Structure 1
């Protein structure tokens, strides 16, 4: 049996994760007057010394960004401005921005590097659009739950983009051939009929700080993680994901009751925060609070039953544990629910490689490449395929 380092995870990271009742039953269960757990400042000594990016710093424009914005502002209407902005971003002859999952950086750094994660790229686009007098709004895209393992945790992804608004009617989207104009750094997501909801700038700032905290937590820097999560919850007190991650931080540091209280509060803010429900359920089971845990487990399973990414998560967990046959079954279940996701085929490729079935591993790498929509991932898959060819 092989060692696993040849295959590293491919995907997007956003927020941290560990790993029948009706919907109304769960909601009623958490509709009480639940208070947020008190902050544990005295447990994270030095958090005040952490330098946290300000709103101004995150959205600040470099000289080059201002030059681009000025050229865009010369266009007469919103549609032409948006088209020119998109050309700047995605044309191979221009800056040709690239996605980089771990790069959670301020707008100016994203522009300089010409690469960042979707949140930082969207912040950068917003800053340039505002400077160009192009009216835009942030949108949260309701993509299915999707996870990527990072060390001993899983990362739950999310997605946001920008929609272009009519300058004369700010609440009205600009339409082009019956569709609104959107600036989205994931072309595959943009083609899907996912629901979208406008979010304000404070929520985006909370997302940025939440991402910073997640990275710090994965790296074991809990003081920095606490500083960023406290900032996130102050900037947007209703942002459930930040409270959920704060619960994880408390659990990692042994403050179990504070973790339970914080998880419950996060769920009271968002009854669709299944990630925090799963984390809470695990902790409740560990502490003998089985009744509440069973309510959560039932609700979670009902919600996730038809989500292929959930079965991929189970596959990833079994793969991580070395249970390759079980992992294979989960990946195949995911493909049965949705046969167009490249990561599921990549999961099977990993499994077959570990089972010394190199031929099947190669076959599934090729299938992953056929389903993939991102050129830079194709290059990674090609490298893996080349290595597998050398194994035979």
Structure 2
């Protein structure tokens, strides 16, 4: 299951990140090419309350005294092991940190270490900070993966994939990095367990991803001012991170600044014409502006680019549930699960449809799958309680 204490992992390991999309859409993962700084006209500071104090790159990766004590213990107790192997073992031993995956909040290195939990990006940042304190070379990677969607209300999140390489120091060349000998660490390995080659990305890109995640989380809480400054920070940290512009546009749209949202989305699409998220959001913004024919053209373009929109069958299934057509709802939830069999909410709603149809065995099965696939403590506890009630109902 996704919400759990992390198990011991194999020596060669790859990690998941978050991005955003909104009935209105937001997303992730950058390529290697560089671009100039974002045009100043894309920012609208005067529309928002004074700036949120964003953490610097150094603050995001900063170690606490407790973390330094931890790295000293790793180095002292390694018993002849190579230092990166010693760190690897210390991270995943059950009597050590006992890390839990929790996607509710993107944390700094210090926050993740103190909480002993975090989403994948948080845990990657924490591991990098510990590794660098031990003088272990670190390489961040963006790993191509199939789209993975989740939602919070009407905001839809598209998760990308990041992993972390720990390198071996070349003793003949102090400070050098042996590219042929590395350990890949992944806190949420691919379902098929197969390693995929990644694209090296810089620390500034990781910082931009962190800020984009924080913007998405602020949006989900309805905190538009915070979301603006985080999204702005993401764009400034790495102008190459195209989906950060999409996040910024979502903030503008929710703030009622449709013209600013349109300009930002058109800039994103000029950078990446095949961004389904930017195109979907642009179609909605143009429709909101009353340009219905133009919006129809954009929607047709989107349908060609993305024939099956995420959550389409799920939303239809919820409508069927509301109408009392539980059989139809079950069919629609099953279709959505064929697209993504790992998303907890699809299993939860399928369990609800099965329950209404009197199939308690199937309801219990999918409620268990929902619990096991949950990515936050809150969802895990919710599904566990409902599962207990289902079991009690069958006694």
Contact 1:13–1:102 (Cα < 8 Å) also in 2 = no
Q: Show the counterpart of 1:273.
A: 275
**Pairs aligned (count):** 357
Correspondence 1:294 to 2:297: yes
Q: Matches of residues 52-67 of structure 1 in structure 2 within 5 Å?
A: 52-67=54-69
Q: Matches of residues 151-162 of structure 1 in structure 2 within 5 Å?
A: 151-162=153-164
C-alpha displacement of 1:270: 3.3
C-alpha displacement of 1:184: 1.2
C-alpha deviations, 1:95-136, integer Å up to 9, x for none? 111111112221111101101111111101000001111111
C-alpha displacement of 1:373: 10
Q: Cα distance 1:35–1:299, how it changes in 2: closer, same or farther (>3 A)?
A: farther
Contact 2:42–2:263 (Cα < 8 Å) also in 1 = no
SS at match of 2:165: strand
> Which sits farther off after the overlay, 208-217 or 246-255?
208-217
Structure 2 gap segments, 5+ residues each: 5-15, 24-37, 171-175
Q: Matches of residues 309-348 of structure 1 in structure 2 within 5 Å?
A: 311=310, 313-321=311-319, 322=322, 327-336=329-338, 344-348=346-350
Correspondence 1:112 to 2:119: no
The 1-side partners of 2:127 and 2:138 are apart by 9
The 2-side partners of 1:335 and 1:136 are apart by 37
Contact 2:17–2:120 (Cα < 8 Å) also in 1 = no
Contact 2:123–2:187 (Cα < 8 Å) also in 1 = yes
The 2-side partners of 1:351 and 1:276 are apart by 33
SS at match of 1:126: helix
Q: Show the counterpart of 1:215.
A: 217
The 2-side partners of 1:385 and 1:250 are apart by 40
Contact 2:108–2:126 (Cα < 8 Å) also in 1 = yes
The 2-side partners of 1:279 and 1:195 are apart by 31
Q: Matches of residues 92-131 of structure 1 in structure 2 within 5 Å?
A: 92-131=94-133
C-alpha displacement of 1:63: 1.6
2:49 to 42, 45, 49: 45
Q: Show the counterpart of 1:22.
A: none
The 2-side partners of 1:249 and 1:150 are apart by 15
The 2-side partners of 1:195 and 1:318 are apart by 37
C-alpha deviations, 1:287-320, integer Å up to 9, x for none? 3254575356445554455xxxx55x22433355
> Which sits farther off after the overlay, 235-244 or 268-277?
268-277
2:22 to 18, 25, 32: 18
The 2-side partners of 1:37 and 1:355 are apart by 55
> Which sits farther off after the overlay, 111-120 or 378-387?
378-387
If the length of structure 1 is used for normalisation, what is the TM-score? 0.78
SS at match of 2:124: helix
C-alpha displacement of 1:170: 3.2
SS at match of 2:225: helix
The 1-side partners of 2:192 and 2:334 are apart by 26
Q: Show the counterpart of 1:6.
A: none
Q: Show the counterpart of 2:137.
A: 135
1:256 to 250, 255, 258: 258
Contact 2:279–2:302 (Cα < 8 Å) also in 1 = no
C-alpha deviations, 1:22-47, integer Å up to 9, x for none? xxxxxxxxxxxx9675311121132x
C-alpha displacement of 1:192: 3.6
C-alpha displacement of 1:329: 3.2
Q: Show the counterpart of 1:235.
A: 237
Contact 2:112–2:123 (Cα < 8 Å) also in 1 = yes
If the length of structure 2 is used for normalisation, what is the TM-score? 0.77
The 2-side partners of 1:236 and 1:85 are apart by 30
The 2-side partners of 1:146 and 1:345 are apart by 15
SS at match of 2:150: strand
Contact 1:129–1:136 (Cα < 8 Å) also in 2 = yes
> Which sits farther off after the overlay, 116-125 or 273-282?
273-282
